[in-house]
Structure 1
Amino acid sequence: MSYIIDIVLFNDFETLDAFGPVEILGKLPDIFKLKFISMEGSLVESSQKVRVETNLYKYEAGVERILIIPGGNGTRENIEDESFISFIKELHNRAKYTLSVCTGSALLAKAGILDNKKATTNKKAYKWVTEQGEKVLWVKEARWVRDENIYTSSGVSAGMDMTLGFIEDLFGKEKALETCQRIEYIWNEDSKYDPFSKLYE
């Protein structure tokens, strides 16, 4: 089985939100083909001034797709953009799995994708994010949360732990640990361990 990974980028996205998962998934090129997309298919700049060339989304019949939504300061502007929220909803509906990092879950919540589902987000921005989806079953203490085919993570670096958890769910723990070894990363394997949930109370 192989998948196309659609990584949605927008101006002022958080660099590690996107490139943490990209580093991990990119170590499995026979399984995952990475595509950076945006609404305009143009050059996009992260909060850290990293510029990325993106493409327009291209539908391909019969191809399994995975959607990744990073967070960052840009989510606060895009949350008010109805066309962008509709874009996210359309991509989710075509994806087999949807993963969001940090405040990316605010965009999913605004689109109604997380209604009646468990989800988490960045704990420093927890109040703002949870206001975007009153029907979401927000989990305050969690490194990442899975509800059926949707994965949401806490802030920034938590996206890497979530992605490794995703690989474990699909291909087993040995594959996740093998990937950790290749990038010399110490994986926080417990999705419920979240010291940051208390830090900002």
Structure 2
Amino acid sequence: MNVDIVVLLFDRMTALDAVGPVDVLKCLPDARLLFVGPEVGPLRTSSGGLLMHAERALEDVDQADILVVPGGHGTRALMEDA
């Protein structure tokens, strides 16, 4: 049985908050990772020097077994856009 792991990416997120859990969760048997964002494309982390790529828009995701929501300076803007 597949385990769908969805990682929410957004501008000014803390990269370690996304990458750390993924490094562990990817070891689950039948794990399937999906990186999503407000829209498809690159998003800059809080350090400003790293881009991460959203493969799909959040609104296009129907379900997730595990949802990873990182922290960071961009959380306030993300909550205002909810």
Bin the TM-score by the shorter chain.
0.7 to 0.9
Give 5+ residue unaligned stretches, structure 1: 86-201
Deviation at 1:59, TM superposition (A): 4.0
Relative to the length of structure 1, the TM-score reads: 0.36
CA contact (8 A) 1:47 1:73 kept: yes
Greater C-alpha radius of gyration: 1
- Please give the alpha-carbon distance, in whole angstroms, between the structure 2 residues aligned to 1:51 and 1:64: 23
Letter paired with 2:37: S
CA contact (8 A) 1:2 1:64 kept: no
- Please give the alpha-carbon distance, in whole angstroms, between the structure 1 residues aligned to 2:36 and 2:26: 16
Could you say which structure has the higher helix fraction? 1
Deviation at 1:25, TM superposition (A): 0.9
Give 5+ residue unaligned stretches, structure 2: none
Identify if the C-alpha distance between structure 1 residues 32 and 45 changes in structure 2 by more than 3 Å, giving closer, same or farther.
Answer: same
1:11-160 paired onto structure 2 within 5 Å: 11-28=11-28, 30-48=29-47, 49-56=49-56, 57=58, 58-59=60-61, 65-81=65-81, 85=82
- Please give the alpha-carbon distance, in whole angstroms, between the structure 2 residues aligned to 1:16 and 1:73: 13
Please give the root-mean-square deviation of Cα atoms over the aligned residues, in Å. Answer: 1.8
Report how many aligned residue pairs link the two structures.
Answer: 79
Could you say which structure has the higher strand fraction? 2
Deviation at 1:4, TM superposition (A): 1.0
Identify if the C-alpha distance between structure 1 residues 9 and 59 changes in structure 2 by more than 3 Å, giving closer, same or farther.
Answer: closer
